[in-house]
Structure 1
């Protein structure tokens, strides 16, 4: 059994490569080329949960079975990442080869890449002010990915911990070379922002529709399991909704479910999937400025596509650099 480490994942996947893999994954979904079940989650009641996500890609370069299993622990903010686990890949042929890939690094990259892909398609072409709400690993990955799709000139950040927000702001300055503002409140952070990324583990909403700029694109990322919330339900009535998967977000997003219950969102208009945009001739960025919201909860197909790409890169690298 082969193991692919975090280092190998990060070496194999540049931001541009991640964007292409995201396109491939979402197109597989829209064309019905993948079988995947809804995420199964077990919570411990002590600030952690475990999720399992199986899938089968039926044809093409990413074909085969795979299973991601990951433990998410929100009680240890000093850890490098709140996620730890593995992606188990079964060879599409009858060889029986099995590969384990580090799940934390793949999850970080594929999640931020999905947001960047949505931003590339939905945000204004000249969007230059990025607001990031959250200070963890996903916040950093989102900054890196957003820089690959829009000409950023300013970053504003907010975190529930002032100390963490300050550290994150310093990291942003060092890695982006851009001016960075630390905001005292979420509303202050997103004032005049063109792109807003919410990447927290909050269980209560901290943004409402009255806080939003007149024109902006929102990537709502952090609340990817029942019980977590970042944005108020009324935001769903104030922005056009786009999703990674209608079935998955309606199953896993407490905020979206509450938006429906409170009359802000109808299940008759459950959102446009990313894959549908990619396979459509419609170009949303050509439309008049407006508010758009990309709600993602993560799909197993993303993990399989990214992981199989890393395995292929690793094989090529080994062949080009034999011992």
Structure 2
């Protein structure tokens, strides 16, 4: 009889050690860049009220996992949707189910880790201020990760609700609330966009030469303006960000002009591509998520939980 480890939301979050997640996500991104992962196209079953998406993936050395996530309208937030799901981790050698965990904290930190790795690889080394646009769960996860990794560099937080912006900024020792998105973005060396926007929240004119932009939001529409996309050197987790239609692909990367290319972040991390070419270059990382990143985070959560004897073991 086999056993499966069950981690609720709190234990999943506790088991996602930031430094280990960064390392595992780096491994997954490099594997994507080298075409070493097995990740089929995303599929979903639709109801009149929402959908259930399935995202399986295998990353050699990290494991085999699948995320099931439901996306339904949220009555408490008109125009917004709720995302609920689970991640199942399997042994990559014999197929045994190993663990079942909450998808929400896992998705938040692997997305924040990917965005952070893009900044580390592509931003100028002299960045002295960071901007975070957004105040929701993903923005808060990004700010919390920045606080864990670099509590000294100032972080300006901007959003529509000053109260939510204040509580998000408080997650970072050097966090502050900006009076507007424009004020936050102007002069920031790195800009993290983490919104649920359906139209652009960033204007190209606000971005100084050499800025790095990491955009992880915009599932329902573009959060970046065409001018920023036009002028930037483009990076993504996978080529499908530009070659598949939303929501799998990125709204901002659809129908790029002939000759425009998108470089894989994993190719930069793996040393196959130089990344930034000069200090004045505008770089843009557009994230759409990737199942290999879920595998990476699930691997960390499972390893940490087992080492700490966390979670509930259930016989199958």
What residue in structure 1 maps to residue 234 of structure 2?
241
Task: Encode CA deviations 1:90-117: one digit per residue, 9 max, x unaligned.
Answer: 2223363342121111100000000000
- Give the alignment of 1:43-62 within 5 angstroms: 49-57=51-59, 59-60=60-61, 62=62
Are the counterparts in 2 of residues 121 and 283 from structure 1 also a CA contact under 8 Å? no
Whether 1:10 and 2:13 are equivalent positions in the alignment is yes
What residue in structure 2 maps to residue 111 of structure 1?
111
Cα deviation for residue 41 of structure 1 reads: 4.5
Q: How many angstroms apart in 1 are the aligned matches of 2:124 and 2:95?
A: 48
Are the counterparts in 2 of residues 120 and 149 from structure 1 also a CA contact under 8 Å? no
- Give the alignment of 1:107-256 within 5 angstroms: 107-147=107-147, 152-160=152-160, 162=161, 165-173=162-170, 175-178=171-174, 180-184=176-180, 186-224=181-219, 227-251=220-244, 252-256=249-253
Task: Encode CA deviations 1:57-81: one digit per residue, 9 max, x unaligned.
Answer: 3x32x233x2111123563459xx9
Q: How many angstroms apart in 2 are the aligned matches of 1:15 and 1:91?
A: 23
Task: Encode CA deviations 1:138-197: one digit per residue, 9 max, x unaligned.
Answer: 11111123345667543222223x2xx323324423x3222513323x323211111111
Q: How many angstroms apart in 1 are the aligned matches of 2:210 and 2:231?
A: 11
TM-score normalised per structure 1: 0.83
**SS of the counterpart of 2:309?**
helix
Higher mean displacement: 149-158 or 5-14: 149-158
Q: How many angstroms apart in 2 are the aligned matches of 1:267 and 1:144?
A: 39
TM-score normalised per structure 2: 0.84
**SS of the counterpart of 1:101?**
strand
Are the counterparts in 1 of residues 276 and 283 from structure 2 also a CA contact under 8 Å? no
* Count of matched residue pairs: 300
Are the counterparts in 2 of residues 246 and 270 from structure 1 also a CA contact under 8 Å? no
Are the counterparts in 2 of residues 132 and 197 from structure 1 also a CA contact under 8 Å? yes
Q: Which runs of 5+ in 1 are unaligned?
A: none
Are the counterparts in 1 of residues 143 and 168 from structure 2 also a CA contact under 8 Å? no
Are the counterparts in 1 of residues 108 and 138 from structure 2 also a CA contact under 8 Å? yes
Q: Which runs of 5+ in 2 are unaligned?
A: 311-316
Are the counterparts in 2 of residues 243 and 274 from structure 1 also a CA contact under 8 Å? yes
Q: Provide the alpha-carbon RMSD of the alignment.
A: 2.6
Aligned to 1:29, which of 28, 32, 35? 32
Q: How many angstroms apart in 2 are the aligned matches of 1:43 and 1:199?
A: 26
Structure with greater contact order relative to length (CA < 8 Å, sep ≥ 6):
2
Q: How many angstroms apart in 2 are the aligned matches of 1:71 and 1:145?
A: 25
Are the counterparts in 2 of residues 41 and 49 from structure 1 also a CA contact under 8 Å? yes
Whether 1:279 and 2:265 are equivalent positions in the alignment is no
Are the counterparts in 2 of residues 205 and 230 from structure 1 also a CA contact under 8 Å? yes
